[in-house]
Structure 1
Amino acid sequence: MISPALRDALAGWIDHMRALRGAAPKTCEAYRADVAGFLAFLAQHHGESQGLAPLVRVTVSDMRAWMAHERSRGVSARSLARALSAVKGFYRWIAEREGFEPTAVLSTRAPKFQKKLPRPLAPEAATAMIERVELQAREPWIAARDAAVVTLLYGCGLRISEALSLTRADAPLPETLRIRGKGGKERIVPVIAPARDAVEAYLELFPFPSEPHEPLFRGARGGALGPRAVQKVMEAARLQLGLPATATPHAMRHSFATHLLTAGGDLRAIQELLGHASLSTTQAYTAVDTARLLEVYAAAHPRARG
C-alpha cells in the first residue's frame, strides 16, 4: 500500500512530466504505473508505507530485490528496463526536491535485452501496399482516403497519430507541414507531390461538409478516422500481397527512413524528419541497412556461398 505522501509525490512528478516535459497522456500513465509498482514493492519489502523516508533509505540491495521480484512475475527484460528508467526519472525529481542523494537508484543497471530492429518494406512492396490499400473499400471516397493516409505515412514518414491529427485547414497540403509529434516536439516535414495529389483526390470525393477545425480524415459516418481502421485495411492488403505481419502502418514510416538512408540520406537529417529526440533511435536504421547488405552479400558472393 502506498502512503498518501508517496501518492502525492508521484502525482507531482507526473504533473511535472506533463507540464514541463510535454509527455503524452499514455506515456504519463505508463510512467505512473511503473513507479507506483516500485513504490508498492518498497512498502511491502520494508513493511512500512509512511512518508518519504523509505525513498531516502533505498539501497542497491533493495533495487536488486525489486528487479528480481519483477522478473519472477514474468516481466520481460525490455519492460523492466522501461520501468527502471521511469523510477530513475522519478528519483531524480524527488531527490532534488527533498535534498537526498539517489545514487543507489541511479547507478542501477538496466537488464540487457535484444533490441527489436525496425522491419521496413522493400520499396516495391511499399508501393504495392499503397496501390492495394486503395482497392479494399467499395466507396470510392473511402478508398481514396485510405490511399492518402498510407501515402502520407510512407511519403512523409508520419506516425499514424500524426497523419490522423491533420485538420481540414491543413489542406490543400503545402510543400511543408509543421507536425507536432511525441512530447509536443514540433518538426517541419516536406510533403512530396504524390502525397499532395493523394489528399486532393480524397477531398474531391469526400461527401461531407467540413469545417477548418475538423479532422482531415473522416470515418464512414463522418466522425474522426481512427487508427484501427487504417490497421485493418493494411492487414487485408498485406494478406493479399503475401507480406509479413510486420507490414503495419508504422512499418511504412520505417520504410520511409530506411529508403532515405539507402539513397544516401544524412542520418541527422532523417532524425529531424522523423522527429526522434535522440540520434540513437534513428541509428537503428543503420543496423537495418547493414543487415540487408550482409544478406545480399551472403546470397551473391561466391566465397560466402562456399
Structure 2
Amino acid sequence: MSKFLRTLPVHFRRAFYNIKRNFASTLSSAFAVMITSTLISVFLICAFNVDSFAQRIEDTIRIAVRIEDNADKDKIKTELEDMKYVYEVNYSSKEEQLEDFINSDQGGEKYRMFEDDNPMYATYFVDISDPNQFESVATAADKLEGVKDTSYGGTASRDIVNIFNNVRIGGAALVGALSLLAIFLISNTIKININNRKDEIGIMRNVGASNWFIKIPFLIEGMLIGVIGSIIPILATIFGYGFLYSYAGGQFFTSILKLYAPAPFVYQISLVLLGVGIVVGLLGSLLSVNKYLKWKR
C-alpha cells in the first residue's frame, strides 16, 4: 500500500501527459460523457419530480365511504380501520358535507336551500398505504352493513397512479441504458489510446512492469475524462434547474404538482453526475485495459 501511494504521483503525471498527448480523442470521449451526463441529469430531474408528483396525487386520493342515516357509525369506523392497507379514517358529518358543497365552486350558495332538509350523507374518508389497493379496499368497504356506497375516482385514479409508476420505471431503465452507453464510448476511446501506445506498453512489460503499474495511469485517465465530461452537465443542472424553478414559480401548472426546491436537490444531482462520470470512466478504462493485457508474458 505504501509503495502504491509513493508511485501515485507518477501515475497521475502519466495520466495527465497521456490526456495532453491525445487531446483530440480525450476531448471526444469527454464530449460523449458530457452528452450522456446531460441526458442523465434531465431524466433524473424528471424522474424525481415525477415521483414527487405521483406521491402528492396519491396523497390527495381518498376513498369516500357514505353512511346510511340509521347505520352504526362507530362499528363501521372500527371495521374500516381493521381493513388491510387502511392507515387513517376521518369522519365528516352530513352538516359538514353540505357546508363543503356550499363553500365549493361546484354549487355555492344555492345549496343553502337544503339546510333544513339535508340530503347529504355522513362520510368516512379512508386513506390507504398502497395506492394500487384502492379498488380492493373500496369494494370491501362497500360490502359493510350500513354503507350506502363508496367512491375514489375509479379508473381515473388508478390510471394516474399507473402512469406515474410506468414513468418512474421507464426513467430508471433509461438512466441505466445511458450509463451503459457512456461506458461503451469511454471503453472504445481508451482502447484507441492503448492501441496507440502498444509499443510503450510492450517496453514497460519487457522491463518487468506489473500489469497494475501499466493499468493505473489508464484508469486515472478514464476517471479524469469522466470528471471533465461531468463539469458542464453539473453547471447546467445547478443554474438551469434554478432558472426553470423560478420561471415556473416552483410548480408544474398546478400547486399539486410542486417541483423540488433547487437546494439541496441540484447539488445531490450534481454529486450523482460526478460519481457517474468517475465510475463510468473507471469501468470503461478497466474493460479496455484488461482486454488488452490478457496476453501472457
Aligning the two structures, in what range does the TM-score lie when normalised by the shorter sequence? under 0.3
Higher relative contact order (CA 8 A, sep 6+): 2
Bigger radius of gyration = 2
The structure with the largest strand share of the pair is 2
The structure with the largest helix share of the pair is 2
